[in-house]
Amino acid sequence: MAIKVSPLAPDAFPTLSPVAGVRLAAYNCGIRYKGRDDLMVAELAPGTTVAGVLTRSLTASAPVHWCRKGLVGGSARALVVNSGNSNAFTGAAGESLVSQTVATAAQLVGCAPEEVFVASTGVIGQPLPADKIAQNLGAAWEKLDEASWDAAARAIMTTDTFPKGAVATCVIDGKTVTLNGFAKGSGMIAPDMATMLGFLFTDAAIAAPVLQKLLSRATDRSFNCVTVDGDTSTSDTVILVATGQAGNAPITELTDPRLRPFAKALDAVCLDLAQQIVRDGEGATKFVTLTVTGATSNQAAKRIALTVANSPLVKTAVAGEDANWGRIVAAVGRAGEKADRDRLVISIGGVQICANGMEVPGYDEAPVAAHMKGQEIDIQVDLGLGRGKATVWTCDLTHGYIDINGSYRS
Q: Cβ distance 241 to 50 under 8 Å?
A: yes
Whether residue 312 sits in one domain with residue 256: no
Closest CA to 87 of 31, 38, 125, 53: 125
How far is CA 278 from its chain centroid? Answer: 9
DSSP assigned state of 393: E
Whether residue 396 sits in one domain with residue 324: yes
Closest CA to 44 of 17, 78, 80, 70: 78
Whether residue 138 sits in one domain with residue 219: yes
Whether residue 80 sits in one domain with residue 126: yes
Q: Cβ distance 38 to 28 under 8 Å?
A: yes
pLDDT of residue 282: 82
**C-alpha R_g of the chain:** 22
pLDDT of residue 262: 98
Q: Cβ distance 25 to 144 under 8 Å?
A: yes
Greatest CA span in the chain, whole angstroms?
72
**361-326-317 Cα angle (round to 5):** 120
Whether residue 344 sits in one domain with residue 204: no
Whether residue 130 sits in one domain with residue 264: yes
Where is the domain boundary, 256, 280, 304?
Answer: 280
pLDDT of residue 1: 47
Whether residue 308 sits in one domain with residue 253: no
Q: Is 205 inside a domain boundary?
A: yes
Closest CA to 381 of 270, 312, 306: 306
Instruction: Please check if 255 is assigned to a binding site.
Output: no
Q: Is 328 inside a domain boundary?
A: yes
Q: Is 187 inside a domain boundary?
A: yes
Whether residue 352 sits in one domain with residue 275: no
Whether residue 46 sits in one domain with residue 163: yes
Q: Is 16 inside a domain boundary?
A: no
- Listed as ranges, residues in the chain with pLDDT below 70 are 1-2, 187-195, 403-410
Instruction: Please check if 376 is assigned to a binding site.
Output: no
Whether residue 297 sits in one domain with residue 274: no
Q: Cβ distance 294 to 382 under 8 Å?
A: yes
Closest CA to 201 of 10, 15, 18: 18
Q: Domain range spanning residue 376? A: 287-406
Residue 388 CA to residue 385 CA, distance in Å, equals 8
Where is the domain boundary, 215, 246, 280?
Answer: 280
* Domain of residue 388, CATH code: 3.10.20.340
Number of Cβ within 10 Å of residue 220's Cβ equals 15
Whether residue 209 sits in one domain with residue 85: yes
Residue-wise DSSP of 180-241:
EEEEE-SSS---SSS-SEEEEEE---B-HHHHHHHHHHHHHHTGGGB-SSS---SS-EEEEE
Q: Is 3 inside a domain boundary?
A: no
Q: Is 4 inside a domain boundary?
A: no
Query: Length of the chain, please?
Result: 410
Whether residue 299 sits in one domain with residue 186: no
Where is the domain boundary, 219, 252, 280?
Answer: 280
pLDDT of residue 409: 55
Of residues 195, 234, 243, 307, which has the active-site annotation? 195
Instruction: Please check if 195 is assigned to a binding site.
Output: yes
Instruction: Please check if 96 is assigned to a binding site.
Output: no
* Domain of residue 87, CATH code: 3.60.70.12
Counted domains in the chain? 2
Give SS3 for 82.
strand
Instruction: Please check if 373 is assigned to a binding site.
Output: no
Instruction: Please check if 405 is assigned to a binding site.
Output: yes
Closest CA to 343 of 399, 379, 294, 378: 294
Number of Cβ within 10 Å of residue 66's Cβ equals 22
In the residue annotation, 195 being an active-site residue is answered as yes
Task: Using alpha carbons, list the distances in angstroms from residue 379 to 230, 304, 328.
Answer: 18, 13, 9
Q: Is 327 inside a domain boundary?
A: yes
Q: Is 13 inside a domain boundary?
A: no
